[in-house]
Amino acid sequence: MEATQAGQLVARILAGEKSAEEELVQQYSRGVSIILNRSTGDRSISEDLSQETFQIALEKIRQGEIREPDRLSGFIVSLARNLASDHFRRSRRLEGFADPDEAELIPESSPSQLDRLLMKEKSKMVRKLLDEMSERDRQILYRFYIAEDDKDRICADLQLSSLHFNRVLHRARERYRDLYENQKL
């Protein structure tokens, strides 16, 4: 969303337009969920915090407390991160919990039956993708995404340019997208 659009959205909410509030939630909910999921590592906690984020954001906008309406995105991100930090501060006091950044390492709760089924499908698609790739490209994917080697090191080992490396990742993602979309049909 452009800064001017964000400013207009804030103005519409201030004017009491209900559809503008829905628009804000729709526009930002996906992004806020990702940020909170990464901060908390727990889907149910992040859902609660997401609701709280939008509740506070809308209250502040309605009361005209947004100083820079054009920087609405920055405001919402800060709010979500602060709520995640507060949550962990409270939890730490109660349970001796970790820092929110460390919390990213906390594993998710055990997967449901549906999660397992979806994961099986993903694995099937990835195997198909790997079958179509050259050995070198498979090594790039493994070393970057699983072994988490640095890009520079992988490029040096495999004598690749940065551009070529990016192309391999880009093609892998595009092919995966194709497989995913074909599966949905």
Partner 1 sequence: MARDMDHQHIRENNVISLYLMGKLPEEGRAQFEEHFVDCQQCLDEMELTNDLRAGLKQVTKEDGLSKENNWVSQRGRAAWLKAPTLWQPRLLAYAGLLFAVSLTAVFFAGARYHRSELAETKRLLDDSQRRYAEERQTSENLEKQLQASADKAGDQKAGDQQPQSLLASLQPAPLFFLSATRGADDSKSTPANHIEVSTTSPWIVLSLEFERDPEFQSYRARLINTEGNVLWSAEKIMPPPSDAIAISLPSGLLSKGDYALVLDGLTSAGRYVPAAHFSFRAIVQK
Quick one: 14 or 160, whose CB is closer to partner 1? 160
Residues 89-148 that bind partner 1 (CB under 8 A): 104, 119-120, 122-123, 125-127, 129-132, 135-136, 138-139, 141-148
Give the contact letters, 42-81, x = binds to partner 1 (CB under 8 A), - = no. -----------------------------x-xx-xx---x
Which member of 17, 22, 99, 157 binds partner 1 (CB under 8 A)? 157
Q: Are 37 and 100 in contact (CB under 8 A)?
A: no
Taking the complex as a whole, the smallest distance from the CB of residue 58 to partner 1 amounts, in Å, to 15
Would you give the DSSP letter of residue 107? P
Q: Are 171 and 141 in contact (CB under 8 A)?
A: no
In b/e form, how buried is each residue of 154-180, taking b as 16+ CB within 10 angstroms?
bbeeeebeeeebeebeeebeeeeeebe
Which member of 38, 48, 52, 98 binds partner 1 (CB under 8 A)? 38
Taking the complex as a whole, the smallest distance from the CB of residue 94 to partner 1 amounts, in Å, to 25
Quick one: 55 or 162, whose CB is closer to partner 1? 162
Q: What is the Cα gyration radius of the chain?
A: 21
Quick one: 86 or 104, whose CB is closer to partner 1? 104
Q: Are 134 and 116 in contact (CB under 8 A)?
A: no
Query: From its phi and psi, is residue 96 left (phi > 0), alpha (psi between -120 and 50) or beta?
Result: left
Return the half-sphere exposure (C-beta side, CA atoms, 13 A cut-off) of residue 152: 0
DSSP 25-61: HHHHHHHHHHHHHHHHS-HHHHHHHHHHHHHHHHHHH
4 makes contact with partner 1 (CB under 8 A): no
Which member of 10, 13, 21, 28 binds partner 1 (CB under 8 A)? 28
Residue 53 to residue 58: CA distance in whole angstroms: 9
Q: Residues in the site for partner 1, rule: CB under 8 A?
A: 1-3, 6, 27-28, 30-32, 34-35, 38, 71, 73-74, 76-77, 81, 104, 119-120, 122-123, 125-127, 129-132, 135-136, 138-139, 141-149, 151, 157-159, 162-163, 166-167, 169-174, 176-177, 180
